[in-house]
Amino acid sequence: MRQWQRPSAKRVLDLTLGSILLALAAPLLAAGTLALAVRRPPGGVLTRSPRIGLDGHLFVLRSLRTRRLRLDLLSRLPHVVRGDLSLVGPVPLTPDDDRAAEAVGPSAAGTPASIPAPVARHWRQELKPGLTGLAQVRSRSGMPWDEPALLDQHYAEHHWVGLDLAILARAVHAPLYRAVHGVTRRGKAHLSDTNHRRCGYSAAE
């Protein structure tokens, strides 16, 4: 009989917050699924892709076949609740990704024979891939040190619940900021003509 182990703080966060988010997103996901079913897209309403998870185990990542309102991302929440994904973690790799050669171990049954098993455990085997992550929220910075692989490794070496919460806040804040900022910029030309006044203009004129 396998001994029960106390879940980590990260798993408690994933299960609690993931369940809440899934419950809130359920009506939107149902509407998106119905809309896709009516359109009958080739391949069905879901995409299916093998990904490498914790300890090098393979799982099939299922997502809605649309990016509107980030429904593809929200549709992966069941994987978080089930334990395949974490809310925050490295990018989930496909078996044919070059980086998977270092991450896949002997336990990943069904992986291509050309992928060697590492002698020592790789950091990617030590934690679950994420719904979002440090690499995703920093991807738009353009800084040379913000390579996804380096950011994923940095997260793996320094992750804790506080960092997860900060990344989740950034992941939510960034699209909201872009949406609000875009509306503000579109209306900016109608707010004032100050930039078009000729040199020497004064209110007395």
Task: Tell me what pLDDT residue 54 has.
Answer: 92
Task: Tell me how far apart the alpha carbons of residues 173 and 187 are, in angstroms, rounded to a whole number.
Answer: 21
H helix runs in the chain, sequence order: 9-39, 71-74, 77-82, 100-103, 134-137, 148-158, 161-187
List, for residues 157-200, the tens digit of each pLDDT value: 998 999 999 999 998 876 666 656 655 555 544 333 334 344 45
Give per-residue pLDDT as tens, 136-148: 888 655 565 568 8
Higher pLDDT, 198 or 29: 29
Asked if residue 53 lies in contact with residue 108, where contact means CB atoms within 8 angstroms, the answer is no
**Phi and psi angles of residue 177, each rounded to the nearest 5 degrees, phi first:** -65, -45
Cα atoms found within 13 Å of the Cα of residue 191, Cβ hemisphere only: 7
Q: What does the block give as tokens for 178?
A: 């872009």
The residue among 41 and 102 whose pLDDT is bigger is 41
Terminal C-alpha separation, the chain? 89
* Neighbouring-strand partners of residue 126: none
Tokens of 80: 């978080």
Asked whether the beta carbons of 33 and 64 are under 8 A apart, the reply is: yes
pTM of the prediction?
A: 0.73
Between 120 and 156, residue with greater pLDDT = 156
- The percentage of residues in the chain with a pLDDT greater than 90, rounded to a whole number, is 46
Q: How much is the average pLDDT of 129-155?
A: 81
52 closest CA partner among 1, 145, 123: 123
CA distance 170 to 136: 10
Average pLDDT score, the chain:
79
